[in-house]
Amino acid sequence: MLAVTVVKGDLRWQRRPDPVAGDTELLVAVRAAGVNMADLNQRRGLYPEQHLETLDIPGLEFAGEVIGVGRQVTRFQVGDRVMAIVSGGAQATLAVVDEVHALPVPSTLSWAEAGGFPEAYSTAYDALWSQAGLTLGERVLVTGASGGVGTAGLQLAAAMGANVVASTRTAAHRERLRQLGAQGVIDPRAIADNGPYDVVLELVGAASLPSALGALADEGRVVVIGGVGGTEVVVDFLGLMRCRGRISASTLRHRDRHGKGEVVLGVARHVLPALAAGHLQVQVSSTFSMRDASVAYDHFASTGKLGKIVLLT
């Protein structure tokens, strides 16, 4: 197969041995793979991979056609269109994934949309639903709302009946974020003045967390998912105690097979039907040929994108 590989901080498009599906795994001809911050961190040498066979191949999500199945696979068959989260190795022409981490691709989705769906929607769903326990009518702040996880999170929160406030530094994105379901779109500098928030989906980190904490509603919950704006802050616990607030934080990548499978099952039950019906969209900012991954990564790191960057094989 051909794969994006990290070689001393550079990306190369190189031949690698074809992967082989284990008993519970699917072998997939990859058509599209989303780019995530973790891939950029891996290029910088900050994110050591867990799987030896994909040690130098980045990519946490992909979509493609099943071309082989392990002996114990029951949910999928050769020819199925699938999309999946993995712990690495997605940015290649072939990938393997445990069947419990794969989802069927609705017929309405393009390959680019399917390749940009799994990581962003699984992360946002898990944070809002499982960790924050979002309920009908609550007020939700989504920081970094222009990004892949942000555009997914604000749509999910709106679909769950929340009143969503989205923060973005890019004024040109405001109208689109409203179309996707945000009732209010604000500059991050206005976070403190636009509370109170019952739930905060914190995708930026230190650059916005203090303002969000200061505007937390009673019993408010903050779920920290990203630290693109810094990972260290001073927290005023008195303020948090006064509103009986909670802060939690999580990653998908570091969960075990069962933990990730639970999230994927939840997405299959609660999110896929709305996606297939067209009530949720995968906002794709731009696509690049997978062999041009380096250009795509640079684009990911630049300002002004709206949604996912996706590589196509």
Least distance in angstroms from the C-beta of 144 to ligand NAP: 3
Distance of alpha carbon 99 from alpha carbon 207, whole angstroms: 38
Q: Is 19 in the site for ligand NAP (CB under 6 A)?
A: no
Question: Which single residue brings its beta carbon nearest to ligand NAP?
Answer: 147
At 218, give phi and psi (nearest 5°): -55, 135
Candidates 16-24, 86-94, 164-172, 274-282 — which segment interacts with ligand NAP by CB under 6 A? 164-172
Q: Which of 202, 19, 223 lies closest to 132 in space, CA to CA?
A: 223
- The span from the CA of 264 to the CA of 123, in Å, is 10
For ligand NAP, the closer of residues 69 and 263 by Cβ is 263
Using the contact rule CB under 6 A, the part of the chain among 1-9, 99-107, 169-177, 190-198 near ligand NAP is: 169-177
Distance from C-alpha of 159 to C-alpha of 181, rounded to nearest angstrom: 8
One character per residue 292-311, x = contact with ligand NAP (rule: CB under 6 A): -----------x-x------
Compute the distance between CA of residue 27 and CA of residue 302 in angstroms, rounded to an integer. Answer: 33
Using the rule CB under 6 A, is 147 a contact of ligand NAP?
A: yes
Question: Does 169 sit near ligand NAP (CB under 6 A)?
Answer: yes
Judged by CB under 6 A, does residue 168 bind ligand NAP? yes
**CA–CA distance from 77 to each of 66, 74, 99, 109 (Å)?**
7, 8, 10, 19
Q: How many residues does the chain have?
A: 313
Please tell me whether residue 150 binds ligand NAP under the rule CB under 6 A: yes
Member of 141, 201, 203, 215 binding ligand NAP (CB under 6 A): 203
173 vs 66: CA distance, rounded Å: 36
Sequence-ordered alpha helix ranges (H) in the chain = 37-43, 111-115, 118-125, 148-159, 174-179, 209-214, 237-242, 257-270, 272-276, 293-301
Piece of 70-78, 145-153, 158-166, 290-298 that binds ligand NAP (CB under 6 A): 145-153
Does 228 bind ligand NAP (CB under 6 A)? Our answer is yes
Closest CB to ligand NAP among 50 and 77?
Answer: 50
Window 242 to 281, contacts with ligand NAP (CB under 6 A) = 250-253
Nearer to ligand NAP, 76 or 288 (CB): 288
Among 11, 37, 199, 200, binds ligand NAP (CB under 6 A): 37
Q: Is 119 in the site for ligand NAP (CB under 6 A)?
A: yes
Beta strand residue intervals within the chain, DSSP E:
2-7, 10-15, 25-34, 61-69, 81-85, 94-98, 102-104, 139-142, 163-167, 184-186, 197-202, 216-224, 246-249, 284-289, 308-312
Positions in the binding site for ligand NAP (CB under 6 A): 36-37, 119, 123, 144, 146-150, 168-170, 173, 188, 203-204, 207, 225-229, 250-253, 303, 305
